[in-house]
Chain A
Amino acid sequence: MAEITLRNLRHSYLDIPLSDADYALKKIDLSWQDGGAYALLGPSGCGKTTLLNIISGLLEPSEGEVLFDNTNVNALAPEQRNIAQVFQFPVVYDTMTVYQNLAFPLKNRGMGSSEIDRRVKEVSGMLGLADILGKRAAGLSADNKQKISLARGLVRPDVNVIMFDEPLTVIDPHLKWQLRSQLKQLHQRYGFTMIYVTHDQTEALTFADQVVVMHDGQVVQVGTSEALFETPEHTFVGHFIGSPGMNVFPCQLDAGGVRIDDHHIALDVSPATTHGTDGNLELGVRPEYIHIDPSGMPVEISAVIDVGRYRILDATLGRHSFKIYCPEGVEIPQSDVRVRFDPRHAHVYIDGWRLAGGAR
């Protein structure tokens, strides 16, 4: 077990990166607590897998350090780092039996055969592989193969971290839930550090204590699922988390708030005065925090989408279109709809990053 720290990490797949755009990872500083369950969330191509491969040692970073318990491991090969990784597609050694698959990493590390036997039996029991230990791995179903990949990591004593690279992609939907909850149980019981890469927000939010959101080679926010929802630190987090995502309006600073076109919205924008206001200003507010209120701003409703327990309204304010979340029991007026933004849940962003606003 170890605490993993990434310091000033940058990585480019090119030999001579010329501009920022050539970097797959742009300056990452992050630390992963020992025993934590983390999710690494972001769209395809944001650098998640690159980051994972740097931690596991499959890739050497162009710049910066990877520290395990404050020891630099940059120069260590994957097998020396004592980590485990489960890949998107199950990796099993086809010609070996399930037992031999699990024993393989232990044998390579020179463990005695009675100890190997004990550990293989224990781990296979936990994962429900005990009955098929004698079978050839090649003919098994995808979920069993994925369990073998996982078991090859769990079987090793004192693994620093187990990393999962979208491990449920090829698993049937009904087995996904089962495997995921099995993983959570194992985590609670053994307390190993877990990093779980996914592009699926539900998977990330239900699985992890801390979610690390990545976008375009950068970490844009680290936080609990609640923090990501209530206080997105970047407009990207606002868009990406939540369904539908956060509404974003171009705006200007105003005395005691912001202005969208000629509508004034009262907000606490005091940090902005110290920060300076050069850059592209935006106001972000989630559809859940826009309420229908006769004293608010006039909007046009262009569509009402009934999703069962609630409705989503497509609305426009001047030139800006946005969405409103409308819970059961709230009346939508036939004409002259007016809405109010909840000032405790509205945030001001400058060049995408959160500047002020929201409840403190």
Chain B
Amino acid sequence: MIERTTNQKAWWLVLPVLVLVAFNAIIPLMTVVNYSVQETFGDNVFFWEGVTWYTEVLHSPRFHEALGRQLMFTFQILAIEIPLGVIVALAMPRKGILVSVCLVLMALPLLIPWNVVGAMWNIFALPDIGLLGRTINAMGIDYNFTQQPGAAWATVVLMDVWHWTSLVVLLAYAGLRSIPDAFYQAAHIDGASGWQIFRYIQLPKMKRVLTIAVLLRFMDSFMIYTEPFVLTGGGPGNATTFLSIDLVKIALGQFDLGPAAAMSLIYFMIILLLSWIFYTVMMRDEDQK
């Protein structure tokens, strides 16, 4: 880490970023806060409502269900993507042209527009024309994600694994590449087993990048909107209605601006709080030394 010197003029260097982000963050955030404490019946007439909407959202079963689904979804994709990403990264080739080929092919899903991801999985998983749907049904399993809540849920999870595991792979691979050979050599001389090498060398050295991976995957999966919206539209029923989808339904579908704004802020706070907890827990050991 570089020794930094105190220099208040550095604010001038930060100013452009500050202006651009503040413009995009603070004004809309104020708008949301404004809506969240008022009631409107159109025509730009507003009535003060205080914390009514907050209480309403916090007590609404609909919000609880969406939050529950969101937490379950995020937990499941983290539980699959992080270990899977690490396993793939461990098995990646270390040098040669194959590395580039692997990296490029793996990064491909990350650069496909999210609605295209949804549309692609739609035609991939449809039971009549999709390769996946057709294959599963041919194996004798009744599968139709447009009608069965369980199948819809599984398809959305699988799509997210397809879409984002590569990010974990890239990060974990970067972490592994930064381990000098001497660590492996010393471990061999010490008679360490493959598992011990993973447990005591690779995992600790990957900790930093894995923290980033968990944080990014947590945040992004918590905000997921476009892909499931295109794939399932939040259905069947409410089976795949996550927080963002529900929010847009309320705000743009029903035009309930007050509750939508209150829900937005609660939603944002939950992400901030959980990210902070993740970060603190994962970095706790670092601070002890």
A-side residues, CB < 8 A to B, are 53, 56, 58, 77-79, 83-85, 87-89, 91, 93-96, 104-105, 108-109, 136, 138-139, 149, 152-153
Contact = CB atoms under 8 A, between A and B. Distances in A.
B185 A85 contact: yes
Given A89-B180, A95-B200, A139-B289, A104 B185 contact: no
A152 B183 CA distance: 13
Contacts of B191: 79, 105, 108-109
B205 to A, nearest CB: 8
Given A95-B200, A104-B192, 19 more contacts: A53-B185, A58-B188, A79-B191, A85-B189, A88-B182, A89-B180, A91-B183, A91-B186, A93-B201, A94-B205, A95-B204, A105-B189, A108-B190, A108-B192, A136-B288, A149-B186, A152-B186, A152-B190, A153-B189
18 contacts: A56-B185, A56-B189, A58-B189, A79-B190, A84-B189, A85-B185, A85-B186, A87-B185, A89-B180, A91-B183, A93-B201, A95-B204, A104-B192, A105-B190, A108-B191, A138-B204, A138-B289, A149-B186
B289 A136 contact: yes
A101 B180 CA distance: 18
A108 to B, nearest CB: 4
A83 B289 contact: no
B188 A78 contact: yes
A78 B189 contact: yes
A288 to B, nearest CB: 39
B230 to A, nearest CB: 43
A104 B190 contact: yes
Contacts, number: 58
Contacts of B193: 108
A317 to B, nearest CB: 48
Interface residues of B, number: 19
B196 interface: yes
Interface in B174-229: 180, 182-183, 185-186, 188-193, 196, 200-201, 204-205
A142 to B, nearest CB: 14
Contacts of A78: 185, 188-189
Contacts of A105: 189-191
A89 B181 CA distance: 10
A161 B78 CA distance: 47
Contact of B188 (A77, A109, A138): A77
A14 to B, nearest CB: 14
A236 B285 CA distance: 51
Nearest to B185: A58
Given A88-B182, A89-B182, A136-B289, A79 B188 contact: yes
Main SS class of interface, A: mixed
Interface in B117-144: none
A124 B68 CA distance: 53
B281 to A, nearest CB: 16
Contacts of A87: 182, 185-186
Contacts of A108: 190-193, 196
B189 A94 contact: no
A284 B193 CA distance: 53
A197 B191 CA distance: 23
B200 A96 contact: yes
Contacts of B188: 58, 77-79
Which has the most chain A C-beta neighbours within 10 Å: B191, B193, B285?
B191
A134 to B, nearest CB: 13
Nearest to A59: B185
Contacts of A96: 200
Contacts of B189: 56, 58, 78-79, 83-85, 105, 153
Nearest to A95: B204
Interface in B63-100: none
- Pairs A-B, 7 closest by C-beta atoms: A139-B289, A79-B191, A108-B191, A87-B182, A105-B190, A91-B186, A78-B188
A136 B186 CA distance: 18
Contacts of A138: 204, 289
B14 to A, nearest CB: 32
Contacts of B182: 87-89, 91
A26 to B, nearest CB: 23
Contacts of B196: 108
Interface in B218-244: none
Contacts of A109: 191
A58 B185 CA distance: 7
Contacts of B289: 136, 138-139
Nearest to A153: B189
Nearest to B182: A87
A149 B191 CA distance: 14
A95 B200 CA distance: 7
Which has the most chain A C-beta neighbours within 10 Å: B186, B189, B192, B288?
B189
A79 B200 CA distance: 17
A9 to B, nearest CB: 19
A247 to B, nearest CB: 39
A154 to B, nearest CB: 13
Contacts of A152: 186, 190
A79 B189 CA distance: 5
Nearest to B289: A139
A104 to B, nearest CB: 6
A56 B181 CA distance: 14
Contacts of B285: 95
B176 to A, nearest CB: 15
B40 to A, nearest CB: 56
A84 B285 CA distance: 30
A94 B204 contact: yes
Contacts of A84: 189
A33 B132 CA distance: 68
